[in-house]
């Protein structure tokens, strides 16, 4: 990759398949210029030189902190380079916690633990990519409705073009667009993937509702979890703005 990247992704190789590769692909589909080794290294490149150049030229550094990341020397070299730039205010570090607790992050790097992070026990790679987009490319984030961002990040928009432009997701202007009552709100007996608090899922009851997927709603209480699920639906229905959606479902 020879264009100046928006983000550099620092990660451990064992996390590629489970999270990092889907994250990098989703970011690229959203229009973010990504430095990621599988995209950016070419035959004959010096790995260390290209990584150093990637760090030096990126505006943001995504650090996927995991047990594998913590245990490897090379990832710590990348982190030190990113932190050094962060101190000089040339780059912003965006931490992603992948299978680690706050204490584990704090023990490894107090400065990382002090930053607002994305926790993959609460979100998948597509959702993480959309949240990162909001920070690194607010111009692209604000230019598309939430539903369109999901289609872009998942690759659905590309698939639809290749299939001749058929759209399966219901449009808010369609009189058949589902109502929130067309979903059964289910409280999971235990949080998703170790998430703390209460997790709610929207189980569709109609054919149109099945075409509008809602992510899990996670909150400290059942009321908060339900409210975040409703916030997702209201955004998809065009009832609230990007900023209102983010406040309702994240902040």
Measured CA to CA, the distance from residue 4 to residue 62 in angstroms comes to 15
Q: Is residue 24 within 8 Å of 9, Cβ to Cβ? A: yes
Q: What is the DSSP letter of 138?
A: H
How many residues appear in the chain?
Answer: 251
Measured CA to CA, the distance from residue 177 to residue 214 in angstroms comes to 14
Measured CA to CA, the distance from residue 85 to residue 88 in angstroms comes to 5
Residue 33: Cβ within 10 Å count: 18
Contacts of 54 (CB under 8 A, 6+ apart): 5, 8, 35, 40
CA distances from 70 to 8, 22, 88, 147 (A): 18, 21, 24, 35
Q: What Rg do the C-alpha atoms of the chain give, in angstroms?
A: 19
Q: Is residue 92 within 8 Å of 61, Cβ to Cβ? A: yes
Residues with catalytic roles: 78
């Amino acid at each position: 990759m020879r264009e100046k990247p928006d983000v550099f992704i620092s990660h451990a190789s064992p996390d590629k398949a489970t999270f990092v590769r889907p994250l990098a692909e989703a970011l690229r589909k959203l229009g973010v210029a990504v430095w990621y080794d599988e995209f950016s290294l070419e035959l004959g490149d010096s790995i260390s030189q290209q990584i150093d150049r990637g760090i030096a030229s990126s505006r943001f550094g995504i650090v996927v902190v995991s047990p594998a990341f913590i245990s490897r020397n090379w990832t710590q070299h990348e982190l030190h380079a990113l932190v050094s730039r962060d101190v000089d205010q040339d780059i912003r570090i965006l931490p992603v916690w992948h299978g680690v607790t706050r204490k584990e992050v704090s023990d490894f790097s107090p400065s990382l633990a002090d930053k607002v992070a994305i926790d993959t026990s609460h979100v998948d790679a597509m959702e993480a990519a959309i949240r990162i987009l909001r920070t690194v490319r607010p111009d692209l984030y604000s230019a598309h409705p939430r539903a369109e961002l999901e289609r872009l990040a998942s690759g659905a928009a590309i698939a639809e073009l290749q299939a001749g432009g058929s759209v399966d997701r219901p449009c808010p202007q369609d009189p058949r667009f589902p109502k929130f009552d067309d979903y059964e709100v289910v409280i999971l007996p235990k949080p998703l993937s170790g998430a703390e608090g209460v997790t709610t899922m929207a189980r569709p009851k109609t054919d149109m509702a099945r075409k509008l997927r809602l992510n899990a709603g996670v909150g400290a209480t059942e009321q908060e979890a339900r409210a975040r699920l409703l916030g997702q639906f209201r955004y998809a229905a065009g009832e609230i703005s990007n900023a209102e959606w983010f406040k309702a479902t994240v902040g």
